[in-house]
Structure 1
């Protein structure tokens, strides 16, 4: 059965996530992270894609891109192949490094773009890795540099959004004007269920779906309710989180 076409973005902006196959770690050390950033620098411009923001986590990466020509599928494939080839050769690994299909969410307004930038820069803090302004593997620090100094992101969009570093910091320090949750089609595609659900749980509870068992009941229920409101069935939530059916029903 052919895949359904990906969602379009009226702005050209997308939130893209690439995940390690089966949840495997993508980076053995800083050398791997630097290599991936160089791969992004080399490949994205060839597809007329501008990198707006990025964050490298342990087993996944977040990118916000400007893709006016709708070429992200080819670009993400090239990035995955390039990094996987290097990773497999260095680690003696055989097989897929990334999940087969990247996950993407259209960003439909400038206001939502601002919240997406805040969301991915706060990701390490929500995951308990480090304060967002101390985490070295995101574009946060590049937002505080001059345009010419930014090694991994281009500045035209960012300069328009944030004329000064202080204007960016004001966004990070302010209360969100709207809750950011990566969007998707009304009916969740089965092949995208893991990525879609994980993004929702991360945005609500700051953890992976399978970690909902170990957090507070109130936060767990909020995440379950959000998954259900986004169209996931009770069975899909159960498969995604590993929670019992009565816990899911009682939360709803």
Structure 2
């Protein structure tokens, strides 16, 4: 059965949600987040995109973008191919990283545009990663609050802020109040929040799973048995691959491939 064609936005503005295949992590350290943002910045310029908001989580990405000089699907394919090439080189792996097809929705009016910006910025708050939206380094929130954000010239905030006021100072106050307001926003009709557990909590869950086997023994087990255990551990809700690798004393690549 052929895929349903994407609905074209009359404004050219789309909310994009792109996640790892099988919800796997796609960012493991600061270099990964920086690399993705550098790639996005490159294609912002090359494809003449307008970037209203973004938020990079561990296993998914939210973008609020206005289409540039080519179809949005083509631009996102360029971004994805570039990041996957970097990822496979760095972690010495192959295969799919992103889910086959990104999710998208058209943003056709200013009211929903603001809702999506807030939804994107509050992702890490609702996931329990931070207590305030501007504490998460890997979103556009700080840029809207007049603070430095990375990359320096990526955010196109003027249009959003002018919805609140033509006076920049007044607009910043109004935007911040709106951005931090409690809400039940659920854009794209899908909740992808995943609260992280601490290393201590992770060890408790791992020990329950291992039974009589000690955590320190796992890396020395025969390959088949070790990988069987690691695959089960990866199913623990809220446990990141980097945490698991650190706890077991194995490489991130080994966790990924198990």
Q: Deviations over 1:143-170 (max 9, x none)?
A: 1228999432124423433543212112
In the alignment, which residue of structure 1 is the partner of 2:23?
23
Distance change >3 Å, CA 28–CA 200, structure 1 → 2: closer
Q: Deviations over 1:169-226 (max 9, x none)?
A: 12123455xx53335xxxxxxxxxxxxxxx4335xxx559xxxxxxxxxxxxxxxxxx
**8 Å CA contact retained: 1:112, 1:180:** no
Residues 1:168 and 2:175 aligned together? yes
Q: How does 1:201-212 map to 2 (within 5 A)?
A: 201-202=191-192, 206=193
Aligned residues: 188
- After superposing the two structures, state which structure 1 stretch, 126-135 or 57-66, moved more: 126-135
Q: Helix, strand or coil for the counterpart of 1:152?
A: coil
1:46: Cα distance to partner?
2.2
Rg larger in structure:
2
Runs (5+) with no aligned partner, structure 1: 184-198, 209-252
Runs (5+) with no aligned partner, structure 2: 196-258
Residues 1:157 and 2:159 aligned together? yes
In the alignment, which residue of structure 1 is the partner of 2:88?
88
Q: Deviations over 1:37-83 (max 9, x none)?
A: 01000013322221110001010000001126662101110010000
Taking the aligned partners of 1:175 and 1:35, their CA distance within structure 2 comes to 32
- After superposing the two structures, state which structure 1 stretch, 158-167 or 83-92, moved more: 158-167
CA RMSD of aligned residues (A): 2.5
Q: Helix, strand or coil for the counterpart of 2:178?
A: helix
Distance change >3 Å, CA 60–CA 91, structure 1 → 2: same
Residues 1:200 and 2:190 aligned together? yes
Taking the aligned partners of 1:126 and 1:157, their CA distance within structure 2 comes to 26
Scaled by the length of structure 1, the TM-score of the pair is: 0.67
1:115: Cα distance to partner?
0.7
In the alignment, which residue of structure 2 is the partner of 1:136?
137
